[in-house]
Amino acid sequence: MPSKLSLTERMRRIRKTDTKPELVVRRIVHSQGYRYRLHHPKLPGNPDIVLVRHRKVIFVHGCFWHRHNCRDGRKLPNSKPGYWGPKLERNRHRDKTNITQLRRLGWSVLVIWECTMKDTKRLTKTLNEFLGDRGS
């Protein structure tokens, strides 16, 4: 019989970096010939992918954690809704603030949502459009 994990143990197992969606985006960006930094700690929001030379950043967001307007993003856990609702809204608000700050600092920002990862052709096209304008 599988043991039940506490909420703390379950939360500890959730990855913050090197998630599968993030790795997919990285592979596409790298295959297009771009070199980048990961999780630049000096930038607001600690973006997942940072193209310093081009002043562009990419966030790869999980729909649930960052409250995307899709089926997964609208879900709320049945347990402790009084905790999860405000917590997830704070995430959404923090993301909005970080993106605004990055744009004020002169960075172009792209947010890739986890639910869009299924269509790799469309994802590649989105990345091409964002990265293709090098602004040189």
pLDDT tens profile 4-22: 766 556 555 565 666 888 9
Work out the percent of the chain whose per-residue pLDDT is above 90.
Answer: 55
Which of 111, 103, 104 is CA-nearest to residue 130? 111
**Residue recorded with tokens 């599968």:** 20
Domain edges within the chain: 8-127
Pairwise CA distance, residues 123 & 27, whole Å: 12
Pairwise CA distance, residues 13 & 19, whole Å: 12
Dihedral class, residue 80 (left if φ above 0, else alpha if ψ from -120 to 50, else beta): left
Reported CATH class of domain 8-127: alpha beta
pLDDT at position 81 is 80
- For 103, other C-beta atoms within 10 Å of its C-beta total 13
pLDDT at position 102 is 97
pLDDT at position 43 is 95
pLDDT digits (tens, 9 = 90+) for 92-135: 999 999 999 999 999 999 999 999 988 999 999 999 999 985 44
Amino acid at 66: H
CB 63 within 8 A of CB 115: yes
Pairwise CA distance, residues 93 & 76, whole Å: 17
pLDDT at position 15 is 57
pLDDT at position 135 is 40
